[in-house]
A and B are shown apart, each in its own frame.
Chain A
């Protein structure tokens, strides 16, 4: 087992996960807001923010899909050692992690049911950069409008039209994190 598999967990899980959750809550409640997430470190190619988010939200009860590029032996070992989430295909995933293109078609992920729209996947999308520019965001959590450097707009707009069903997204780049709940209206910038 590689050294970086055994390291990179939280040194003070209760406090670090509390701070990370608050940042993630803030990001999801205010789409477009970019927050800093750190404390976790996973083998490449995982960003610090993605590793920290996994440590904060995932455990043995959260089936996880690793998209091609992120599905590497050292990543699987790290997840098994620190998180214990079962690795599954996209159709069973509660969380999915990967780069935008690698995550593939969004209709492969659970979007919830009419009775339980919360039983839907959360996608963690790794980007090269995350900035308050690009696509125009409006909707709950946004006073007027926000901008976010999304990888595209059409897929998110399709996702929104399925409300209350749908997927929710976190975007990560380095230690930066932003989010897009299914309620956000996304228009090309």
Chain B
């Protein structure tokens, strides 16, 4: 016998999280309170996402963990190791082979299928928090669909900057009812929130779980005269040449040389393996 339960959490805790997940699916975009447990990792490491993943995993799953699109950061590797050890699941870096994907700050570029679950790590689940710090008040605002202030804030952006300045955690309305924080994904990813996969969001410190079922309407808040645009850097990937992927800017030498590369490392590697090339690909650079 091992010293810990399957997927680390005790059965009673998993039942509580599972009940919260089912209500979250039944009320898309609504934040269900849950009693978050201490996890053997700091809060910044996505303890909410880890608890949701723990409640969902079966021994048959194949888990992928990404941090800002990358499989090889310390955070992603630690979480993958944690579940390899505690749940005995296989892990993968291939988006298409994963049945459960835990993510921080990105949605994979490749469209997800209806046999996949995407679990988001969420730091601040409440999209109205910056307008109203009191939880009782934000809960009331959601109950009454009082989202006018949210639109005012976005419109002030337009007045000040000529465009909506929010580029991460861009608020969405789910199935025409709840305004939801999609976690700090770039707004480029917002259109992918309408997916065939089950999307689950876990906030550990703030003890909230919410969800978007498959095939659910998700609309980024905008205005008729300033429609939402899922913008990205106006470059192609310098390694794989992709023109429609989200890019990270990377400093490549002491002289300030820069390149743009896909933030989704599996997407980029897959394209390179298929023979796609970018400006700085090894062959092209010779």
Residues of A within 8 A of B (CB): 13-15, 17-19, 21-22, 24-26, 28-30, 56-59, 61-62, 114-118, 120, 122, 140-143, 163-164, 166, 168, 181-183
Whether A14 contacts B26 in the complex (CB less than 8 A), given A57-B15, A59-B12, comes out as: no
Asked if B112 is at the interface of the complex by the 8 Å CB criterion, the answer is no
Closest to A58 in B: B15
Q: In the assembled complex, which residues on chain B have CB atoms less than 8 Å from the CB atom of A140?
A: 28, 175, 213-217
B27 and A164 contact, CB distance less than 8 A: yes
Q: Is B25 an interface residue (CB 8 A)?
A: yes
Query: Are A29 and B27 in contact, CB atoms less than 8 angstroms apart?
Result: no
Chain B, interface residues (CB within 8 Å), range = 35 or more
Known pairs A14-B7, A57-B15; A182 contacts B58 (CB<8 A): no
- Report yes or no: B177 in contact with A59, Cβ–Cβ below 8 A: no
Measured CB to CB, the closest approach of chain A to B134, in angstroms, equals 13
Instruction: A140 to B12: give the CA distance in the assembly, Å.
Output: 29
Let me know if A163 and B21 touch, CB within 8 A. no
**A17, A19, A29, A181: which contacts B214 (Cβ < 8 A)?**
A29
Say which residue of B27, B143, B198 sits within 8 Å of A182 (CB atoms).
B27
Q: Across the interface, do A115 and B18 meet the contact criterion of CB distance under 8 Å?
A: no
Q: List 28 A-B contacts (CB under 8 A).
A: A14-B5, A14-B11, A17-B11, A17-B15, A18-B7, A21-B14, A21-B55, A25-B56, A26-B198, A28-B25, A29-B25, A29-B198, A29-B211, A29-B214, A30-B114, A30-B213, A56-B15, A57-B22, A115-B139, A118-B27, A118-B32, A118-B33, A164-B30, A164-B177, A166-B26, A168-B22, A181-B27, A183-B175
A116 to B215, alpha carbons, bound, how many Å? 24
Beyond A57-B15, A59-B12, A140-B175, whether A117 also contacts B27 by CB under 8 A is yes
Could you tell me the distance between the alpha carbons of A169 and B121 in the complex, rounded to whole angstroms? 28
Closest residue to A144 on the B side, CB-wise?
B215
The residues of A that contact B211 with a CB separation of less than 8 Å are 29
Q: Which of A26, A120, A143 contacts B196 (CB 8 A)?
A: A143
Contacts A29-B214, A164-B30 given: A22-B56 contact, CB under 8 Å? yes
CB-CB under 8 A from A117, the residues of chain B are: 27, 30
Kindly state the separation between the CA atoms of A62 and B22 in the bound complex, as whole angstroms: 14
Quick check: A118 and B30 within 8 Å, CB to CB?
yes
Cβ-defined contact, A114 with B58, below 8 A: no
Q: Which of B12, B19, B55 has the most CB of A within 10 A?
A: B19
- Main secondary structure, interface of B, reads mixed
- Considering the chains assembled together, what is the distance between the CA atoms of A57 and B19 in angstroms? 6
Residues in A neighbouring B213, C-beta threshold 8 A: 29-30, 140-141, 181, 183
Partner of A15, one of B24, B28, B59: B59
A116 — which chain B residues lie within 8 A by C-beta?
33, 139
- A26–B178 alpha-carbon span in the complex (Å): 22
A residues near B57, Cβ cutoff 8 Å: 18
Nearest CB to that of B139 among chain A residues?
A: A115
- Point out the residue from A56, A114, A122, A168 that lies within 8 Å of B143, measured CB to CB: A114
5 new A-B contacts at CB < 8 Å, known A21-B56, A114-B144, A118-B32: A15-B6, A24-B22, A117-B30, A142-B215, A181-B25
Q: How far is the CA of A22 from the CA of B25 in the complex (A)?
A: 13
Interface members, chain B 156-190 (any A CB < 8 Å): 175, 177-178
- The residue on B at minimum CB distance from A31 is B213
Across the interface, name the chain A residue whose C-beta is closest to B200: A25
B129 within 8 A of A: no
- Is B268 among interface residues, defined by CB-CB distance under 8 A? no
3 tightest Cβ-Cβ pairs between the two chains A and B: A14-B6, A114-B143, A181-B26
- Known interface pairs A19-B58, A118-B30. Does A62 touch B19 (Cβ–Cβ under 8 Å)? yes
Identify which of A14, A116, A118 gathers the most chain B CB atoms within 10 Å of its CB.
Answer: A118
- Across-interface contacts of B19 in A (CB, < 8 A): 57, 62
A56 touches B18 (CB 8 A): yes
Q: Which residues of A contact B23 (CB under 8 A)?
A: 118, 120, 168
Query: Across the interface, do B26 and A61 meet the contact criterion of CB distance under 8 Å?
Result: no
Contact between A17 and B177 (Cβ–Cβ < 8 Å)? Answer: no
A162 to chain B, nearest CB (A): 12
